[in-house]
Structure formats: C-alpha cells, structure tokens
C-alpha cells in the first residue's frame, strides 16, 4: 500500500516535471538551444507565488496565473535582450549566456530572499483524500493533474492550432517558414514566453506543497535536462512520458535508498542514457 | 615580442620578493592557482570549444584524494596526486566518450550532472568527510607534506606548474592537435570533411584539461590543508574557472592569467568590503559579467583589445588566379 | 572504378530523398550532377561524402566499402568535398584554414605549412594568407574551401555548387581552377546549376529528379533529352521536345 502511494506520488510530481520540461524541449526543438537558466524560471515562479500570496493573500488560481504571466513576460524579454543576439554567435556565447543568466538570477534571489527555505502559507488545497486506500495530499494531486492537463494543452496548442503550426514550421525549416510569411523572430519569442511560463506555473504548483529556496533552480534544471533527453529532442509528448517516468524513478529511489539519493539516481540515469540511448525513448538514432 | 615574455616572466618571478607582506604574497599565490585551473579549463573550453560547466569534478578529485590518503591512511598526500589524475581521466572518459559524438549541449549538460552527482555522493560519504570535509597535515613533518607556513614556496610551486601548463598549451597550439581543435571549434562538419577524427581529439583535449585541473585541485589542498564539498566540488569552483578564462579570452594562451589577475583581487576586495554578504554580491556580478561577455565580446578582453588596435581590414579583393 | 555507388537510397522519416541512385566514376573523369532543386542531388552527395549514411545501397571507394563509414574515414581514404554554403573556419587565417587540410597528409607544422602555401599559390590566395577567413566575400570563401580540400590531397573531389553566385568573370576563373585541379590527376564530381559550367567541364552528366537518376550521358545528349526538359520545365515542354 505504501509502495502504491509512493508510485502515485511519484507520478504526480512527474507530471509537474513534464510541464516544467516541456518548455525546455520546445526551445531545444525550435532553436537547437539549451537554456541553462530554465531551472531558475521554475524558482522564480515559486517566488512570484510567494510574493503574491504574502502581499495579497490570494489563492492558487491567482498566483498560478501571476507566475504564468510574469514568467511569460520575462521569457520574451530575455529572448529579445539576450538570446536573439547570441544565436548568431559561437557556441561558447550561446552556452555561457544562459549559464551566466542562471547565476545572475539565482544569486539575486539569494540576495533578496536569503538562502532560507520557505513555504507558502496554507492555501485552499489542504488536507488529504483517500482514493481507494491510497492517501493523497490534495495539493499534490491537484498540482499533478493541472500539470498534466497543461502539458497536454501545450501539445494541442502546437499541433492543432494555427499559431502552433507556425511555431512548428519555424522549428522545422526557418527559411521555408520565412518564405511563407511567418516571422521566425516572433515565433521564437513566443516560444520563450511559453517555455518560461510553463516553468513558472510548474514552480507555483510545486510551491504549494514543497519548501523552496533560491538554490533549487539547479536541481530543476538538471531534472529538466534528464527529462528532455529521455523524452527526445523537441518532443512535448516525449517530455510528458519521460517526466512521469523520472518522477516515478525518483520516488522509488527515495523509498528504497533514502531521500538523499533520489537525485543521484536520476543523474546517474542521465549518464547511462547518454551512453546507451541518447535519442531518448521516442527518438530515432 | 620576445622582450614582452621576458618582462612578464621576470615580473612574476620577482613579485613575492618585491611585495613582501604576507597578504600580498598570499594573494599572488591565489591568483596563480586560479590562473592554473582557468588555463586548464581553457584547453577544452577555449581551444576545443567544448564548454564544461562541471570541471569542479576534476578539481575536487585532485583536492580530495591527497587529503584522504593523509587523513585515513596516514600516507604522504603527494601520492594522492597521480591517483587523483587517474580518477580524473576516468571521469573524463565517462563524460566525454558518449557525449562527444553528439551535439555540444549534451557534453555541457553531462558535466553539470556528473559534477553535481559526485558532490552529493561525497557530501554524504563518511569516508570522504561528508559535509565536514577532509584535512591535511597540521604541521610539516616531511617535505612531501608540502605544508609551508609562508605563502612564498606555494607561490613558486604554482608558478612552475602554470609555466609548465602554458608551455604545454603553447606547444599544442602550434601542433596538429591545436589546429584540429580550433577547426573543431570553428566548424565540426567541415573539420570532419577534412579527415579530423573529431571525437578522439575532443577526448585528448578533455583529458589534458582534466589532468591539469586535478593538479590545481591538489595544489589547493596542499596550500589550504582543507577541502569540503563546497570548496572542492561546488558549482562556484566551475564558475570561477569559466569566468576567469572567458574574461581574459578563451582560446588564448594568456587570457586566463589576465582574467585571474583582474578577478581574484576583485573578489578578495568585495569579500572584505561587504563581508559575508559580499560573497552573494560577487556571484551576482559574476553572472552579470558572463552574460555581458557572451552577449558582447565572447572573445574576452584580449579579443576586444585586438579589435580596437588592429588596422581596419578592407574586404579582401577578389583572388587573382595564378595563370 | 574509383567510386561506385550502387542503388543508394536515403529515407528520412517517411520521405524518400534519394531512390536507388547509381553513380560509377572512373579515375580521372569529371562527372556532373544536375537536376532541379529538391531533386536529391545534395543528399546523394552527402551520402558519398560520408555525412549521411544511406538507408540502403552500397558505396565503394578505391575498393573499400565506405557505406557506413563516418565522414572522417571518407576523407582519409581520399574523398574531399566542398559545401554548398561555404563552411570556412571564420576566425582562423586563410593560411591556417588550408593548413587544417594539409595536416591530413603532413603531420609536422613545417610540412603542413609548406603544403598549404603551395596550394595558396596555385589558387591565387597567397597574398591574403594572413587575413582571417571571415574577411573574404562569398567567392573568396568558395575558393578558400577548394584550396583547403586540395591541401588534403584527395583522389576524388566533390564540388557542391562551388560556382554558384559568382560573376561571369569569376566563373571563368573558377572553371580554369577546376581544370588545373583535374590536370593534377584528381577525379571530380561536380553538382551545379549553371549549364555553361556543366557543358564546359563535365565529360559525363547525371540528371536527378525526385530522388532518382532519370538520365545520364554526354552533356549535350542529356540536355536535349525530353525527360530532362520535362523535369526542369514541366510536362508540356517535355511533350513539345518529343515532337519531331
């Protein structure tokens, strides 16, 4: 029974990981670019939620939305201020740009909020419910379901809407997209906004149940890297599947080996993946 | 240009004799140590263009193993140096072998993941001191303890190692290895088409880099007599190497030394001025500097200098065909 | 037979770029590959160069099966190539660019440099040896790519639209250079859109359309072939060409 609880809990957190990573894989697929500051977007989402709740005392719906909007704007701003320029430059500049940005965001957060772990005050999502013998934390259940829904929504946005097909067109072939009248610049900025927003919402969702500090960004970035590699280059459905799997593996690792090693196992999995199947679950060699 | 090199060498040799206060001598040793690890990073990050953000794993191996031998088995710490290099080479293969046939990002992500993995494991492993860390000899009993009370012997040891590393780098630069690495950095696909065995050369560069980074870590352990997960394996160890190399100029011989000369005193100053909070401010500034370098001058200060002082080159005229 | 590509097929996730293409090249020939855009010429080219691995089929060079070999191995065996969009090492000097090519056969700095200078002399780039590659315009870059691959002493040179975008006088100069390279005994396969170049240089021509080789023969024959005209200009024209 406990094991089943661990499994379900892992899958729910995994859904949040999927949401968190879907933005990263979108950018990777579109621009062949890995955002090393992606974890910090999640962290900022957590702190936006924190600030909003402390200042206005509102519920999860509002601060979730605030995180989404705030991070969307941040993502677009970063695209225009930094990313667009470094895309034209050498690989060194591309990797260092977001790596430096991660440091900048992380240590600014340290400075403003101190390294202490914080939690959000009680929200409406409290208590546990009993689903067929499994005790589930309402907040975690809600977070997992919302995250899964949003990830699917992102996938549908990309594959079923006009704007989504424009985004995919730019990912597929920039030149051809330009010839069709699509503005790659705008689409890429939009992708950055969506990427940051999804990371921010994931952060806000996690903040409801878990304590957070400015340091967590690095761990989320690495988790996202693993999910994105496992799920395959540019694939949002892949990220969903991989996210669930990573959440599950992490929960089982914590259960069997202790909480300290939950991340170690995931990182070890990453290395094994690179050796054996770097194209991920759904990719082709 | 020969005189410039001689002047530099003389300045470096004379420094501790001119600035005799322990504070300045210590600062000088720290600058040289930072220059060594940044120059080591530069071999794979600057010359080969493969950006490692987890080089702390090699540095940490170099720092931990000598102190481990001393603390647990009472062996001369110096025996830990080659052992640490062997471990670092193994790590280099584990990280580089699978990722060097893939796009560059994979290598960078892998270095971050492995460095972090090692840090967590070490933080929880009693044998390696867990969160507390390991200590070296408190007093010097034998020459191989390399425990000196003054910073001056360290200064000269570090200078010798830096000189060796720069010589090796210079030699590599002018050899086939150097040309191939630059080609790989400039355009892998084109390099392949000219017969460059890309993966093999990237691995050479990484292994050379790992060796000297490990050595730098060992030198750090000898000097401070102490290491813990933060000071040996933390992300800031990796960051410092990168920013020093990038500020001075990646892919250049003296860029890392230039970066060290500028940043290490700066860091010491902000730490003294702002106290504990200063450390936080320093890394905000570091992050900002890295972003600015990436955005405006990826070649660092040396490239900036080159651009400002080089004559304006006209577009080359159409080549005449030799009849 | 220096190069034999048999029934080379390349498929990308449901899309067949090249379908059972054959190419046999004897040592010392100059062969042209033509065809409309998207016909699969470049993909086929990349398979021969080793950049892509064919989905099926076989490629043999100088008796060695290179179908699954990586690009580096192709180069070491003696297949050199240029790129449709010049891929020069921008931040390196022109001399250094060519030295990278020379280092394939000459391991020491002095020997590689001497070879590179010799090649720069032949291609008329010697005066610009110390300039960075990025200071060149497109024609210069194309010439530099040719020099660079020439320094690697290939037996077979694959030129991918090396003359596209050049002015008429530059084209004449480039044609002369290709002839000089051929005189050195190097076999050449050239992908080109400019008919004048194909007619002047190629001894034999293959025509690609929609991934298949639809015609091959002497340049003049191929150009008059109705199937070829149809491929380029459309159905009606082909029919018109067939009228006696």
Residue B277 has pLDDT above 70, yes or no: no
| Contact assignment for B322 to C121 by CB distance below 8 Å | yes
C178 touches chain B (CB under 8 A): no
Interface of B with A in 266-305 (CB under 8 A): 277, 280-281, 283-284, 286-295, 298
Residue of B193, B202, B252, B297 to mutate, testing the C interface (most C Cβ within 10 Å of its Cβ): B193
**DSSP H helices in A79-183:** 84-87, 91-113, 138-160, 162-172, 174-179
Starting from the edge strand earliest in sequence, which strands make up the sheet with C79-81, in order? C79-81, C156-160, C187-191, C30-34, C204-209, C212-217
What is the DSSP pairing of strand A128-131 with strand A134-137? antiparallel
Q: Say what the pLDDT of residue B184 is.
A: 94
B45 DSSP 8-state letter: I
Residue B322 has pLDDT above 50, yes or no: no
* pLDDT band per the 50, 70, 90 thresholds, residue B314: very low
Q: Helix (H, G, I), strand (E, B), or coil: what is residue B76?
A: coil
DSSP symbols for A23-68: HHHHHHHHHS---TTHHHHHHHHHHHHHHHHHHH---HHHHHHHHH
Are C95 and C188 contained in the same domain?
no
For chain C, how many structural domains are there in total?
2
Query: Cα(A283)–Cα(A241) distance, rounded to whole angstroms?
Result: 13
Which of C80, C109, C176 is closest, CB to CB, to B321? C176
Q: Say what the pLDDT of residue B76 is.
A: 87
Around Cβ A39, how many Cβ atoms within 10 Å? 27
For chain C, report the end-to-end CA distance as a whole number of angstroms: 38
Contacts of residue B316 in chain C, CB cutoff 8 Å? 128, 131, 135-137, 140
| Contact assignment for A271 to B94 by CB distance below 8 Å | yes
DSSP symbols for C20-86: EEEEEE-TT-EEEEE-STTSSHHHHHHHHHTSS--SEEEEEETTEE-TT--HHHHHHHTEEE--SS-
Backbone angles phi, psi at B183, to 5 degrees: -65, -40
Q: What is the ipTM of this complex?
A: 0.91
Residue A182 has pLDDT above 90, yes or no: no
Quote the minimal CA–CA distance from A151 to chain B in Å: 23
| Contact assignment for A267 to B106 by CB distance below 8 Å | no
Chains that touch B (3 or more CB pairs under 8 A): A, C
pLDDT tens profile C99-155: 999 999 999 999 999 999 999 999 999 999 999 998 998 889 999 999 999 999 999
Contacts of residue C51 in chain B, CB cutoff 8 Å? 189, 192-193
| Contact assignment for B183 to C92 by CB distance below 8 Å | yes
Which domains does chain A show, CATH number per domain? 2-276 (1.10.3470)
Confirm if B214 and B84 have CB atoms less than 8 A apart: yes
Chain C's closest residue to B197, CA to CA, is C72
B24 touches chain A (CB under 8 A): no
Which CATH number do you get for residue C224?
3.40.50.300
| Contact assignment for B289 to A111 by CB distance below 8 Å | no
| Contact assignment for B124 to A268 by CB distance below 8 Å | no
Are C34 and C140 contained in the same domain?
no
* pLDDT band per the 50, 70, 90 thresholds, residue B319: very low
B229 touches chain A (CB under 8 A): no
Are C27 and C9 contained in the same domain?
yes
Quote the minimal CA–CA distance from C26 to chain B in Å: 22
| Contact assignment for A268 to B117 by CB distance below 8 Å | yes
| Contact assignment for C135 to B313 by CB distance below 8 Å | yes
| Contact assignment for A274 to B98 by CB distance below 8 Å | yes
Quote the minimal CA–CA distance from B18 to chain C in Å: 40
| Contact assignment for A111 to B106 by CB distance below 8 Å | no
Are C176 and C59 contained in the same domain?
yes
Query: Cα(B40)–Cα(B45) distance, rounded to whole angstroms?
Result: 9
User: Which long-range contacts (C-beta less than 8 Å, at least 24 apart) are formed by C10-18?
Assistant: C10/C40, C10/C43, C10/C44, C10/C47, C10/C52, C10/C54, C10/C55, C11/C55, C13/A284, C16/C211, C17/C43, C17/C211, C18/C43, C18/C44, C18/C47, C18/C54, C18/C211
Farthest-apart Cα atoms in chain B, separation: 76
C134 touches chain B (CB under 8 A): no
Are C162 and C74 contained in the same domain?
yes
Are C47 and C98 contained in the same domain?
no
pLDDT tens profile B219-229: 999 999 999 99
Backbone angles phi, psi at B225, to 5 degrees: 70, 20
Vertex A46, ends A171 and B274: CA angle to 5°? 105
Contacts of residue C96 in chain B, CB cutoff 8 Å? 179, 182
Which of A96, A105, A222 is closest, CB to CB, to B112? A222
Query: Cα(A85)–Cα(B309) distance, rounded to whole angstroms?
Result: 24
| Domain ranges, residue C70 | 3-78+154-242
What is the DSSP pairing of strand C204-209 with strand A134-137? unpaired
Q: Between residues A128 and B122, which one has the greater pLDDT?
A: B122
Query: Cα(C66)–Cα(C228) distance, rounded to whole angstroms?
Result: 30
Written as tens digits, the pLDDT of chain C (244 aa) is 899 999 999 888 778 888 888 999 999 999 999 888 777 888 898 999 998 999 999 999 998 999 999 999 999 999 999 998 899 999 899 999 999 999 999 999 999 999 999 999 999 999 999 999 989 988 899 999 999 999 999 999 999 988 888 888 888 888 999 999 999 999 999 998 777 888 888 999 988 888 888 888 888 888 788 777 777 766 555 555 555 5
pLDDT tens profile B205-216: 999 999 999 999
Count how many residues are written for chain C. Answer: 244
Average pLDDT on A48-75 reads 88
Of the three residues C153, C177, C201, the one that is the final residue of a domain is C153
């Amino acid at each position: 029974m406990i094991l089943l609880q661990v499994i379900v809990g892992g899958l729910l957190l995994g859904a949040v990981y999927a949401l968190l990573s879907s933005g990263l894989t979108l950018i990777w697929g579109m621009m062949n670019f890995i955002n090393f500051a992606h974890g910090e977007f999640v962290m900022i989402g957590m702190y936006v939620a924190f600030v909003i709740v402390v200042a206005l005392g509102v519920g999860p719906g509002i601060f979730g939305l605030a995180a989404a909007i705030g991070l969307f704007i941040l993502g677009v701003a970063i695209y225009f201020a930094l990313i667009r320029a470094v895309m034209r430059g050498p690989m060194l500049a591309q990797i260092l740009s977001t790596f430096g940005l991660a440091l900048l965001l992380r240590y600014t957060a340290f400075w403003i909020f101190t390294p202490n772990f914080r939690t959000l005050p009680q929200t409406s999502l409290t208590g546990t419910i009993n689903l067929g013998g499994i005790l589930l934390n309402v907040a975690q259940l809600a977070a997992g379901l919302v995250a899964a829904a949003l990830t699917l929504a992102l996938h549908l946005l990309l594959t079923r809407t006009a704007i989504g097909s424009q985004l995919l067109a730019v990912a597929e072939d920039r030149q051809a997209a330009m010839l069709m009248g699509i503005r790659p610049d705008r689409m890429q900025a939009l992708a950055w906004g969506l990427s940051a927003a999804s990371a921010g919402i994931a952060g806000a969702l996690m903040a409801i149940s878990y304590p957070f500090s400015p340091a967590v960004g690095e761990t989320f970035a690495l988790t996202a890297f693993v999910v994105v590699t496992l799920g395959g280059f540019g694939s949002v459905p892949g990220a969903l599947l991989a996210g669930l799997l990573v959440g599950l593996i992490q929960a089982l690792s914590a259960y069997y080996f202790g909480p300290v090693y939950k991340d170690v196992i995931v990182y070890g999995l990453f290395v094994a993946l690179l050796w054996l199947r770097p194209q991920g679950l759904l990719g082709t060699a | 240009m020969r005189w410039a090199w001689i002047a530099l060498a003389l300045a470096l040799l004379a420094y501790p004799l001119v600035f005799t206060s322990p504070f300045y001598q210590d600062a000088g040793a720290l600058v040289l140590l930072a220059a060594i690890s940044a120059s080591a990073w530069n071999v794979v990050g600057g010359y080969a263009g493969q950006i490692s953000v987890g080089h702390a794993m090699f540095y940490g191996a170099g720092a931990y193993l000598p102190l481990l031998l001393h603390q647990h088995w009472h062996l001369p710490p110096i025996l830990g140096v080659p052992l640490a290099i062997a471990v670092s080479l193994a790590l280099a293969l584990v990280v580089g072998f699978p990722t060097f046939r893939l796009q560059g990002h994979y290598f960078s992500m892998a270095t971050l993941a492995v460095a972090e993995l090692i840090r967590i494991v070490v933080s929880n492993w009693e044998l390696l001191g867990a969160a507390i860390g390991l200590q070296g000899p408190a007093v010097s009993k034998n020459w191989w303890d390399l425990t000196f009370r003054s910073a001056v012997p360290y200064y000269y040891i570090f200078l010798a190692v830096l000189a060796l590393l720069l010589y090796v780098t210079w030699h590599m630069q002018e050899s086939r290895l150097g040309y191939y690495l630059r080609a790989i950095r400039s355009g892998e696909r084109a390099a392949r088409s000219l017969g460059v065995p890309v993966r093999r050369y990237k691995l050479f560069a990484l292994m050379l880099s790992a060796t000297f980074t490990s050595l730098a870590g060992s030198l750090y352990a000898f000097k401070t007599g102490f290491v813990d997960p933060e000071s040996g394996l933390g992300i800031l160890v990796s960051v410092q190497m990168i920013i020093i190399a990038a500020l001075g100029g990646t892919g250049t011989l003296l860029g890392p030394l230039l970066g060290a000369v500028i940043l290490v005193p700066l860091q010491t100053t902000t730490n003294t001025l702002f106290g504990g909070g200063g450390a936080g401010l320093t890394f905000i500034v570091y992050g900002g500097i890295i972003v600015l370098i990436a955005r405006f001058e990826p070649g660092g200060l040396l490239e900036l200098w080159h651009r400002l002082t080089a004559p304006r080159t006209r577009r080359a005229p159409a080549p005449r065909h030799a009849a | 037979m220096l190069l034999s590509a048999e029934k080379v097929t390349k498929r990308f996730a449901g899309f067949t770029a090249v379908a059972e293409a054959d190419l046999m090249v004897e040592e010392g020939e100059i062969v042209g590959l033509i065809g409309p855009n998207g016909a699969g010429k470049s993909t086929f080219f990349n398979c021969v160069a080793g950049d892509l691995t064919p989905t099926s089929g076989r490629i043999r060079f100088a008796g060695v099966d290179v179908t699954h070999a990586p690009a580096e191995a192709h180069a070491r065996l003696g297949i050199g190539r240029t790129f449709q969009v010049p891929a020069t090492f921008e931040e390196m000097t022109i001399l250094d660019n060519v030295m990278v090519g020379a280092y394939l056969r000459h391991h020491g700095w002095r020997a590689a440099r001497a070879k590179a200078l010799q090649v720069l002399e032949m291609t008329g780039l010697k005066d610009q040896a110390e300039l960075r590659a990025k200071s060149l315009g497109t024609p210069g870059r194309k010439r530099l790519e040719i020099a660079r691959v020439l320094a690697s002493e290939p037996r077979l040179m694959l030129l991918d639209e090396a003359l596209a975008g050049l002015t008429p006088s530059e084209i004449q100069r480039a044609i002369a250079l290709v002839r000089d390279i051929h005189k050195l005994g190097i076999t050449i396969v050239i992908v080109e859109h400019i008919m004048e170049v194909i007619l002047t240089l190629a001894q034999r021509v293959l025509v690609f359309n929609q991934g298949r080789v639809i015609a091959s023969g002497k340049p003049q024959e191929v150009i008059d072939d109705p199937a070829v005209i149809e491929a380029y200009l459309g159905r009606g024209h082909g029919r018109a060409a067939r009228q006696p």
